[in-house]
Chain A
Amino acid sequence: MSTRLATGGRLIDRNKPLGFSFNGKRMTGYAGDTLASALLANGQMLVGRSFKYHRPRGIVARGAEEPNALANFGESAAFEPNQRMTTTPLTEGAVIASQNHWPSLEFDIGAINARMARFLPAGFYYKTFNWPRGFWKHIYEPFIRRSAGLGKAPKERDEDRYEHLYAFCDVLVIGGGIAGLVAAKAAGDSGQRVILIEQTGSWGGRAAVDGGQIDGIEVMQWIKETLQELEKNKNITIRPNTMGAGIYDHGYTLAYEQTHDLNAPRHRLWRIRAAKIITATGAIERPLSFANNDLPGVMLASAVRDYLADCGVSAGDRTVIVTNNDDAYRTAVALKEGGLEVPAILDARPDPLGQLVEKARDLGIRVEAGRGVASVTGKGRVQGVDVCLHAGEGAVLETIPCEAVAMSGGWSPVVHLWSHCRGKLIWDEEQAHFRPDPSRPPINHDGQGFVITAGSASGALQTNDVLADAHRAASGAGTPPVSDAISEGPIMPVWVMPQGAGIEKRAKMFLDYQNDVKVSDVQLAAQEGYESVEHAKRYTTLGMATDQGKLSNINGLAVLSDALHQPIPDTGTTTFRPPYTPISMASIAGDARGELFQPLRRTPLHDWHEDNGAHWEPVGQWRRPYAFVRTGESVDQAVAREVTATRTSLGLLDASTLGKIIVKGPDAGKFLDMMYTNMMSNLAVGKCRYGLMCSENGFLIDDGVVARMSEDTWLCHTTTGGADHIHGHMEEWLQTEWWDWKVYTANVTEQWAQIGIVGPNARKVLEKIGGIDVSAETLPFMTWAEGKLGGIPVRAFRISFSGELSYEIAVAANQGRALWDMLHAAGDEHGATSYGTEALHIMRAEKGFIMIGDETDGTVIPQDLGLDWAISKKKDDYLGKRAQARSHMTDRNRWKLVGLETLDGSVLPDGAYAVADGENANGQRKTQGRVTSTYQSPTLGRGIAMGLVSNGPDRMGDVLNFPDTDGKPHEARIVSPVFYDPDGEKQNV
C-alpha cells in the first residue's frame, strides 16, 4: 500500500497539515502536496474508473501527462469536473470525488463492461447497433450516452474572476527546469527582455529530484542561486504556475496561469507577443505495454521517484522496476536508499552495462537482464508480477510479490508547442523518440524560425547535453554550465512486452489508460485498413482522452507501424493541437461575462428611457426603446398610443443611434457618387438627399439621408445597425481600391445626440423654444441648417421617416438630455409623447417607406423596391451598377414591392409566403411572393403589410393566398405600398 514515509519530501511542509475529503472520507495531507500525492499518502491507490471498461485506475504519473487521476473537485459554484489531481495543489478543506462509477468507486456496476471486453473492441460501435433502424436513436444511443463522459456536469454559475493579460518580450522561455533557467539567464545576460514561465510552482524540473552538482555546487543550491540572479535582472520577468498553452502564427503565445490564490483572479490568460520563443518543456516518460499494465500500483518509474523525493510518499513497500533504459535505475536507487524494498529490476535489454546499473547492483538490488513482465497479478491493485523472457512469448519464469511496479519505456521530448505552428519532427533511432528537427522550425513572416527548443525538449536526455543545448538555444556567451552527471547506457526500444506476446496478452496491454485502448485495438485497426495514423486514432480513440495521448501516442504509433511492417517515421504522428493541457472556458471568456459580455452602447437619453418605462430591444450593441409602456398598459397598447399621439399632435424620438459618418476631402463627392446609387456630388450645401448603398453584387445594403455640410464635406446617415460596417465598407474601398483618392471618413455616431420632433405640432414646439428659424420658407423639406435652439448649438434637419411634419435636431452628445428635457417641457401642452422603435416601424410602413433588414435581406436590389428614382442615370458607375444589369436582375418576374391588404382587415402573418399553383421539380410548393412587413395600423384601424410579389406592381388588385405555417389561408389583395397620405401633404407643410 502506498504511504507517507516518516521523513523526506522536499516540497511538503510537515508543519502545515491540511484536512480534505475523498469520496466523503476524511484524510490529511500537507501543504505542498498535490491531490494525488495526498491520496497516495493516505493509501488511496484506486482513484477512478476508466472510460469504456470502467477498469479500476490508479495514479500513474506526477504531472500534466496523468491520464487516470481525474476528480470531481469542489462544491456548488466552485465545482469542477475532470480536475487533474497530479497538478492540483492540495488546499484545506478540499472536497474530492472520484468519477465515472456507480454506485461506488470500489464497486462499480459499469465494470461489467470489462467482462464484456471481448465484445467491445475498437470500432465495435460502427459494426453494431445498426439494426433495426430507429433503435440507435431510441434504445442504443441513450444507453451509450448515459455511460458517456467522465466528470459530472457543473450545475451552478461560476462566481470566480478571470483575467486577460498581455505582454511582449524579445525572448519567451517556456519551462523552468534547468534548461529553461540556463536559457533565460543567457538571454537576459545579453540584454534581451525575457519572460520565463513555468507550469508548476517549483523550479528546476527533474534535476531538482535527481540531484548531483552543476558547476561544482549541489543542484538545489545552483537552482536557487540562478533564480536569484534572474530575479535581480530587470530585463527578466518570472512567472510560476503559468503554462505555455499554445503557440500561434507570428509568435503569438497563449499562457495559462493558475494563481492558487483566493484573493487573485482564479486564472489568468496571458497573450504574449515574443520575437523568439524557447521551449524548454522537458520530456515525458513512456509506459511499457505489458499485460495488466493498468492495475493501480503500476506507475511511471520517474513518478515513483518524484513522489518519494518531493512528497515523502512511497507507492508501496516493495516495488519492482521494469525498464528498457538506465534512467529507471535511478528510481531503484532512490527507493533502496529510502529504505524501501526493490525485489528486482526487470531489464528488457540483454546486457545492461551503464554506471547506473552498476550502482544498483552495488546496492544489492537484483538486476534481471533480458527479462520482462508476462503479466501483473492482483485484483484491483498490484500484488505481484509474473516474470518472463522479454524475447519470448510470455512463459512465466517466476512470480515476484510486490505492491507497486515502476515502469520506464524511455523518454519522449515534449514537442507540443514546437508542433502547434507546424515545427517538424524527426525520428531519433538511437534514443527511440520523435524530437524537433531544428532545420524545419515553425516559420515566421520573415521566413525565419521563431521557436527553438532547449534541453530535453530538443531530445537531449543527459544533463550535460541539456545544459549545453539550453545555452546554445539562447545563444549564451561563454561556456555552458557543466554537471557531474554520470553517463547512461543506450536504450533498447520496447513497444510490446514480451516481444512474442499472443493475442490474449495483447488484449490486456493498455496504451491509452483513460480511453481503454489496448495494443490489440491498434492492431485491429491496422488489420481493418485504418492505416493512416489519423484513422487508427479515430477508430480506436487512442490519444483522444483528456491527456491527449501524452503517454500513449508514441507507443501506439510504434505498435501501428509494427502492424503495418513500416518504419515509425513513415507512420508519423497525429497533429498536436493547442492547448498543451486543457484550459478553463472561463479563462478564455475572461471578464466579458454578464453585463460585460459585450459593450452596452447607451445614447445620451438612455437613463431617461430607463426611468420612463422603456421596453428595450437590442439593436446591435445598442439598446433602443421598443415602446414606453405606462402603468396598466400592454406593449401593443403603448405602441398604438405612441403612433396616434405622433400622427395627431407631437411625438419625440431618440434617433441618436442612427449612424453618422463624415466624408470629407477634395474627392469626397466623387467617392460618394461611387458609394451611393444617387448622385451626391451635385447636392447643394444645405440640402439633404435620401441615398441608397449597394454591395458589389448589386444588393441594397443600407439607406439614409445624406446632407452636404460644406464644399468638401458630407454627412452620411446610416441605419443603426449599419453604422460600423458601412464605415468599414467605405474604408475598405478607400484603402484597397481608391487609395489615391483624397477622402477622409470619420464615424461620429456617438458624438451627436439626435432627436426626432414629429407631428403636426412639431414646428410649434421648436418655435416656442426659440432660436433657429424652422419655418417652411427658411427650412423647407429636405434641407438642413445650423443655429441655436434654446441657447444650445444645433443642426436642424428637415427630414421625415414617418410622413409627418418632422425635424431631426442634432446636438453635441453632452447636450442631448438638456434638449430632450426642453422639448418635453415645451411640448407638454401638445401632449408630447416619446415613441419607440415599433411606432417608428409602423409609421414608416403606413407611409410605404422601406426598412433595411425588413424589405431587404441581401437578395433585394433597389429596382425591386420601386426605388429606381434614387438611382442616378447620369453616372458612369456606382457600386452594384454592373451587377444590376445581369439577366436575373432585370427579369420582369422578379419579386417587387407592393402593399398588401387582407380581405377581412386582419393582420397578415409575418414572414408568410404567397403560394402559387403546383410544385417545383423538387416537390416544393411553388411561391410567388412573401410578406416583408406586417402591422396592425392604429391610424387606419386595420392590418397593413408590405411584401415582395412576382411582377407585383403590374398586378394591382390581384388576390393572393399567404397560408400560415399550419396551412390556414390568409387572403390579401395587392395594393399600393403607400397607405397613408400618398401625396405627401403632411410632411411637406
Chain B
Amino acid sequence: MTTTSTATTLAHVDHVSRRFGSQLALDDVSLDIRSGEILGMLGPNGAGKSTLLSLLQGRRRPSSGTVELFGGRPTDARYRARLGSTPQETALPDTLRVGEVVDLVAAHFAERVPTAELSDEFGFADLLRRQCGALSGGQKRRIAVALAFVGRPSLVLLDEPTTGLDVDARHGLWAAIRRHRAAGTTVVVTSHYLEEIEALAERVVVIDRGRVIVDDTLDAVRSRVSSSIVTLRTSDADRVRELPGIVMSQPSEAGGRLELTISDSDEFVRVLVTSGLAFEGLTVRGSSLEETFLALTDTSSTIHSEGIRS
C-alpha cells in the first residue's frame, strides 16, 4: 500500500500494552492513523477497542509503549485540540439541556459548528430545549456522535456509534460520517458489526484479545471474509490440507471431519477431485461474514497450522 505524499500521520501507537491489574487489555499494539481515511476497528466486545481509544484520547496512559497524537502526548490537553470523540455509553449530564451540552463541548474548540447547523445535520433540532435525562437511547446516541464533530476536528474517534439505532437512523449517521470524511476529516470507527465497517471503512483493523490480528484495506479483508466452508471426511487429512486455496482448516467437532475455509470453493473442488485423494461426505456452503470474522478472532481455530488431527 502506498500513501500519497499529502497523507500525514495523525496518531501513532507504538508497541503499546495496557494492563488493568492482572488483565492485559492491550498487548503490544502498534498502529498509525493517517489523514484522510476511515479506519474501521473491528473486534468482539472486550477485545480492547475502547481501551485503545481511551489511550488516544489521553484518558488513560499505556502501561508500556508510546501513544502520540498530533505529534505529542494525548494526556497533554493541547494535543487534543483537533480531536473529536463521543461520550461512552452515550452518557450526557441528565439535568443539562441538549443545547447547553452542545455549547459546553463547543466551548473547548477554536472553531465550532453552529448549534443549529449541527442539530439539523444529526437530526435533533427539535430536542435542543429538552433536558438530556428525558431523551431516548437513540436520541442520545445521535447527539453523542454529533458532539464529536462540533469542534471541526481533524480526527474523530467514534466508539460504537450506531449501537441501538434503528436502520434509518443508522444509515443517516453513516451518511453524515461519509460527508465529514469527504470534507477531509479522518475518522476511526469501532464496531462489532461487520456490516457497519463494510459500509464505512477503507481500512480495517481487527482487534482480538488485545492484539491487532488484521490491519489491511477493506477489499483485502473482504476477500478473506467472502469465502466458503467445505467439510469432508478423509483418511488423508495432511495432504488435503496442502491443497491450494485453503485459508484456514480445523478438525470439525463432529469427529473425523475436516472443516476448511476456502476462498474459491468451485476451484477447490476441481482440484480435490483431480488430486485423486480419498474423501467422502463433501459439503460446501458459503460462510457468513459473521462466521468468518468469528473464525478470525477465535484462537482455537488454526490458521495454516500444522498438527491437525483428522
**Is B one of A's binding partners?**
no
Task: State the B residues within 8 Å of A (CB).
Answer: none
